[in-house]
Homo-oligomer: A and B are copies of this chain.
Amino acid sequence: MTYREALRPTDAEAVRQLVSATGFFRPAEVEIAAELVDETLARGADSGYQFLFADDDARSDALAGYACFGRVPATESGFDLYWIAVAPSLHRRGLGSRLLAAVEARCREQGGRRLYVDTSGRPQYSPTRDYYRNNGFIVAAVFPDFYADGDDKVVLSKPL
């Protein structure tokens, strides 16, 4: 597994395939994930988004996982984790935790002291919430019916 931060033109499509393959995201969400890559390819650091890609050394054309994160505007030391995803074939091997730890290290290098992530309160996201809790996040807030009726927003945070 090799980590890299620099974006390649092929990453938008690779992210689209990876995020779609997890089965956790709606088509519109998959498109947003890919658009953030394209926007950052076009605008560079001005986009406000940073990326960390885990390339699968065994398959040169495939991503093993990736994360998208960035500073929370108007805060001194807050970072948001916008996306983190691991290829389903590589689940349950600790890659998600290693990728998250690598993101946290990059936030700390930039003065980050707290990392936030939003997820859904729906039952199908229970493994997602467990993943964050198992990696040191706590639930900071729950917004009832935020995304839709019966679909709460759960905000988790972790000190860095």
Interface residues, chain A, with chain B CB atoms under 8 Å away: 28-29, 32, 72-78, 114, 116, 140-143, 145-149, 155, 157
Closest to A149 in B: B76
B146 in contact with A143 (CB, 8 Å): no
Kindly report which residue of chain B lies nearest to residue A113, judged by CB atoms. B145
Copies in the complex: 2
Give the distance in Å from the alpha carbon of A149 to the alpha carbon of B113 in the complex. Answer: 10
Closest B residue by C-beta to A140: B143
Asked whether B146 lies within 8 Å of A75 as measured between CB atoms, the reply is yes
A20 to chain B, nearest CB (A): 16
Query: Contact at A146–B78, with CB atoms within 8 Å?
Result: yes
CB-based contact B76/A147 at 8 Å: yes
